[in-house]
Amino acid sequence: MNRSGIIQNLKPLLNLVQSQKESITTPILNDLAGLLTGTSNADNTGFLRRRIDRIYSRLCRISGELDRLDFKNAPSGISPEDYVFSRIDFSRYRQINAQYFDRLFPEGLSDFSEDFFKKNFGYGRRIIKLIIEKGYVKKEGIYQILKENPLILSIMRTLEISLDSSPLFTIEEIEKELNSLGTNAGIPSPENVFPLLVLCLDNVLISHADGMKTKLFFTQGKGLEGTFHPGNKAWTRVLIPLNHNLPENSTGPTGC
């Protein structure tokens, strides 16, 4: 079955999702419905598109920092790791543009697993969220840090550059959203619908505010990937691993 055939099979579900007056309980399905039916706006307002945009922002930040590194100027005897650390500009977290802050940090906490926060900071997501909220005050379009300390600087730094994010969406998230639609007999099981939703994202383009586009594609042996272009350089990331409830023998939409 080709991609258009898969979308046609999903049409009843997509129509049901888009007919809901409140999309707050189905943000992922609502965004997928818009992307797969061509009815979404291209302004990255959708839940998934914002997740992809945050990955792009992190890659842009990493790319920019790498471009500024010159190991030829590193002091003699210093390790590459220590040199990289010495070049980090932690002062950038004293004042952060409100639009950038709101886009990347509060909602961006959902991009990472609970284990990620406990492993890196020793606290869960809820506590990290409180630390950020209590650590900054908003004044005239700027978030101003109230008191610098190693923990909050580490949190902001990690959230801004870490690529250790969760899959773009998971079968558990899809199951939760399907359940919120009610007990309609026509609603497919998450096990059946999840692979189709992933496969249908093959060759989807996501536009970013700077004009760059990210291409999503399905690769046998890897899963759903995305090629980003921070600084006009291609970076390819696996967004949903093949082992994440995806059929291993799938060749993508054209071979389903």
> Quick one: pLDDT at residue 169?
95
In sequence order, what E strands does the chain have? 95-97, 136-139, 142-145, 205-207, 213-219, 223-228, 235-241
In sequence order, what E strands does 34-122 have? 95-97
Rg (CA), the chain: 20
Closest CA to 193 of 74, 33, 83, 22: 33
Sign of the torsion formed by the C-alpha atoms of 36, 41, 46 and 51: positive
Strands 213-219 and 95-97: unpaired
pLDDT above 50 (res 2): yes
Q: What's the predicted TM-score (pTM) here? A: 0.86
Q: Residue 147's pLDDT band (boundaries 50, 70, 90)?
A: very high
| Mean of pLDDT values over 199-228 | 93
Tokens of 124: 């869960």
Q: Residue 188's pLDDT band (boundaries 50, 70, 90)?
A: confident
> Quick one: pLDDT at residue 251?
40
pLDDT tens digits, 106-126: 889 999 999 999 999 999 999
Sign of the torsion formed by the C-alpha atoms of 198, 222, 111 and 117: positive
95-97: strand order across its sheet: 95-97, 142-145, 136-139
> Quick one: pLDDT at residue 38?
74
**Of 252 and 73, which is predicted with more confidence?**
73
pLDDT tens digits, 37-70: 777 654 557 889 999 999 999 999 989 888 776 6
pLDDT above 90: percentage of residues in the chain: 59
DSSP summary character for residue 139: E
Tokens of 41: 């706006």
- Nearest-angstrom CA–CA distance, 107 and 50: 9
Query: Out of 84-93, 155-164, 169-178, 202-211, which region has the weakest mean confidence (pLDDT)?
Result: 84-93
| Mean of pLDDT values over 91-101 | 95
Helix axes 27-37, 47-68, angle to 10 degrees: 90
Q: Residue 183's pLDDT band (boundaries 50, 70, 90)?
A: low
Closest CA to 133 of 108, 105, 169: 105
Tokens of 48: 């998934």
Residue 195's contacts (CB-CB under 8 Å, 6 or more residues apart) are 245, 246, 247, 250
DSSP summary character for residue 74: S
pLDDT above 60 (res 256): no
